[in-house]
Amino acid sequence: MVALADARSRVPPGRHRLPSRRPIAPAAGLFCLSCAELAESPRFEADAAPLEIIETIPADGAVDVDPLTRIDICLSGELDPRVVNEFDATLHSATLTFDTQQEVQLFSWRAPGSRDLLASERWCPGSVLSLTPESPLRAGLTYRVRLRALSGLGWSGGALDTTQDGWTLSEGGDLRLFIEFRVAGSVGDPLPEEIPALPDGPSIEALFETGRVFDPERAACGCHQGGEGENAELALARLDLSDPTLAWSGLVLREGSEPTGFAMVSPRMPSESYLIQKMVRDAEGDALRGIHGVAMPPEDPLPHADLVDLAHWIAAGIEP
């Protein structure tokens, strides 16, 4: 297993935290040893709570920021990864706009502010909106992230909470939030020669190794591996995870979309994969709305390291 970074390590200085009214869900305990009944809930709520910005990395006003930083915006709830587009969160310096790769982490599986490290714990209670600059940031310059006020971006349909400090009206009358920071060093300093990236992800075979998420001896997914229980036969028929070949076929080659409108596995897009959506729980420990049935495993959440393993497998290209 790829070593996980401490979630507080290698974070650009000046990390900023805003008050949160939602606690992070408790750490996982036991694995799934029984099978759950199926249930359904509507995908969206008519009165979905607004999403608060819990913290930003870098912080607004931070100085001496690493030129290789990723920009992470931690939110109080889960995001619908289909809603945010490239114009909703942009990176600027003076009059210039810079290319970034935008990503929604349905749960915080990457280390905060890092291009190449995985998170050892869930450091954000909801989803993370991440911007990765296409090239290193220039030393000594001031940058600002511009975030538009968005409605309907929450998993259950909620909007960004624009009552928080920092939101201002643009000349056109639209609400904007700016996160401004300065990059370490002096203007003219050379750019970093190497840009770090995530290490290679695990293969599906590796996920069956001793102690990992699909290890049959652990029974973390025992209902889908021939385990016992009232609904075990149905679970195995729906998705067979008894060996790597059957698991890869059932997850990757599955046709059609799942109840949330996403494929079971979307290559290189963990948040757009129903497999991840089915296993992520909200800050209260409940399944995400619109999931068919309960969160898996039904008795207790998977340990964070297992969720990271699955997200990394998908993000790296779903190797057999």
Tokens of 111: 């280390």
- Model pTM? 0.84
CB-CB neighbours of 45 under 10 Å? 14
Mean pLDDT by 10 residues, the chain (320 residues): 42 43 34 41 65 98 98 97 95 98 98 98 97 98 97 92 95 94 97 96 96 84 59 63 92 93 97 96 87 84 95 98
Asked if residue 133 lies in contact with residue 306, where contact means CB atoms within 8 angstroms, the answer is no
CA quadruple 175, 176, 177, 178: dihedral sign = negative
Q: What angle do CA 59, 65, 68 make, to 5 degrees?
A: 115
pLDDT score, position 297 = 84
d(CA 86, CA 148): 11
pLDDT score, position 226 = 54
pLDDT score, position 222 = 54
pLDDT score, position 45 = 57
Closest CA to 231 of 307, 290, 293: 293
d(CA 307, CA 289): 19
CATH of domain 53-183: 2.60.40.1220
The DSSP string of 43-98 is S--TTPPPBPEEEEESPTTEEEE-TTPPEEEEESS-B-TTT--TTTEEEEETTEEE
Residues of the chain with CATH 2.60.40.1220: 53-183
CA distances from 92 to 16, 98, 114, 182, 183 (A): 20, 6, 20, 12, 13
pLDDT score, position 12 = 41
pLDDT score, position 110 = 99
Q: Is the bond into 58 cis (omega within 30 degrees of 0)?
A: yes
Closest CA to 251 of 149, 243, 63, 187: 243
pLDDT score, position 78 = 97
pLDDT score, position 228 = 57
